Amino acid sequence: DVKVTQSSRYLVKRTGEKVFLECVQDMDHENMFWYRQDPGLGLRLIYFSYDVKMKEKGDIPEGYSVSREKKERFSLILESASTNQTSMYLCASSLAGQGDEKLFFGSGTQLSVL
């Protein structure tokens, strides 16, 4: 089975800190994604990547950046964490295909910014 592993299940940070959320997948998938999930707003796409060193903005990229130096790892960076970035962060990966590829998600990181 595909495994998508997020480095932390729960994380507490202070306002202004630089925060790294790490995601690793073990199935050689080309595509990787970062979503955040908030009550009443559903899942929203932050950034995604189709290949190493490539990145694309999603629907809500402001305040975030990403890094994909290796195929299996996709990092989400909060340059200066703010309280409105308190959320559940979900990483996902998929195999590149003809459009019918399916996403595999990690278990999520619940980030609290105080």
In angstroms, the CA 32 to CA 38 distance is 20
Name the token pair of 73.
């790892």
Closest CB to other proteins among residues 67, 110? 110
Q: Which residue has the tokens 């790490």?
A: 22
Least Å from the CB of residue 15 to other proteins:
26
Least Å from the CB of residue 16 to other proteins:
28
The binding site for other proteins (CB under 8 A) comprises: 4, 31, 33, 35, 40, 42-45, 48, 50, 58-59, 90, 92, 94, 96, 98-108
Least Å from the CB of residue 41 to other proteins:
9
- CB burial class (10 A; 0-12, 13-18, 19+) of residue 89? buried
